[in-house]
Structure 1
């Protein structure tokens, strides 16, 4: 029984030690990714701020066809596809396109959601593994090794938590952008596909179709 317990302890220790290097590698890769993503995020933020600063009323922009001036390019693309739909099953195609667009927009946030969870988790794993070796070194009186292990342990904690917090900030802001884009596409679909006498320009465009 004691031999089996010793074998299991050795096995778990080897597993724990073997994943320490991949954990450090993944944390390093996530740091690089978030640095690149930070630049991408601020580029999007500046782009959307410029669109927002010159925004006309959205219904008026959809009716007049001047949506390029107030909406992001991917939203303009979806609205253009909506305006081109003209067949007996148009309503079904519109609903399908709206759902596909919504799914794609939410899916674009999946990486940030993963980093929110993975970053702190990797930081915790990277903390506990060197803490074990540090305590073993303390038992042998090796304070130098203990100090080195504690530095690595607390550093991985800081990096992992920072990644999670930064990803959460980006996710919160971009979730609001996604909600705005979905709202804009749904409004455009209603204006373009539901004839209403309050929107004569839309009706004229519908009547002009062959």
Structure 2
């Protein structure tokens, strides 16, 4: 019986030490998450105003598709691509597809599909960090909330109200940082995902149009 009590005591003390040792890393991660979310929020706002300034509207898209369908020369189509408000990486994809006229139809289509898929992967990678924050920050915030409650309850049992208040404040701060980081990260990912999906859709349509004109 005494042996079991010793094992239980040792296990309890070990778990307590481990959990308390996680407090500083957890709080540091929460601060990093929050700062990174704020930086990305500022970047998102800047990107939003830039996109409004050089908006890729349907008229420009139709003009580009129309120019391709009318079988203009490669140089004229390339100039239209270069002058468009498409992202630089998307311009490079379209130019590469346009310059693949020496390849067979199946090879050109495979090349275009692969390059569009690569752009989708690149867009997904850009969303990974904010997606991780949106999913992980609440769990880390919960850890930061629960860890200080142990010493806080101990302080309550000892009648140390000030120590209890300090630990409760730390727990509430961790919860707020976790939820705020998750909310900001989720919002950023949601908006950027819509932007990237629209860009990929535009790129796919333009690549298909260029493939059509290269058949002739």
TM-score by length of 2: 0.84
Pick one of 73, 87, 90 that aligns with 2:88: 73
C-alpha RMSD of the superposition: 1.9
Higher relative contact order (CA 8 A, sep 6+): 2
Q: Distance in 2 between matches of 1:126 and 1:51?
A: 43
- The residue that corresponds to 2:207 in the other structure is 189
Deviation at 1:45, TM superposition (A): 0.8
| Cα displacement (A) at 1:31 | 2.0
SS at match of 1:85: coil
Query: Which residue of structure 1 aligns with residue 16 of structure 2?
Result: 13
Name the SS for the 1:108 alignment partner: helix
Aligned partners of 1:146 and 1:12: how far apart in 2? 21
Query: Per the alignment, in what secondary structure is the counterpart of residue 93 of structure 1?
Result: helix
Q: Which runs of 5+ in 2 are unaligned?
A: 68-76
Give the conservation status (yes or no) of the 8 Å contact 2:34–2:181.
yes
Task: Give the structure 1 partner of residue 163 of structure 2.
Answer: 145
Asked whether the 8 Å contact 2:37–2:130 carries over to 1, the reply is no
What is the count of residue pairs matched by the alignment? 198
Q: Secondary structure at the match of 2:55?
A: helix
Distance 2:99 2:164 in 1: 68
Q: Tell me the CA shift for residue 53 of structure 1.
A: 7.5
Q: Which residue of 1 aligns with 2:135?
A: 117
Counterpart secondary structure, 1:70: coil
Which residue of 29, 34, 37 maps to 1:34? 37
Residues of 2 paired with 1:27 and 1:20: CA distance?
Answer: 11
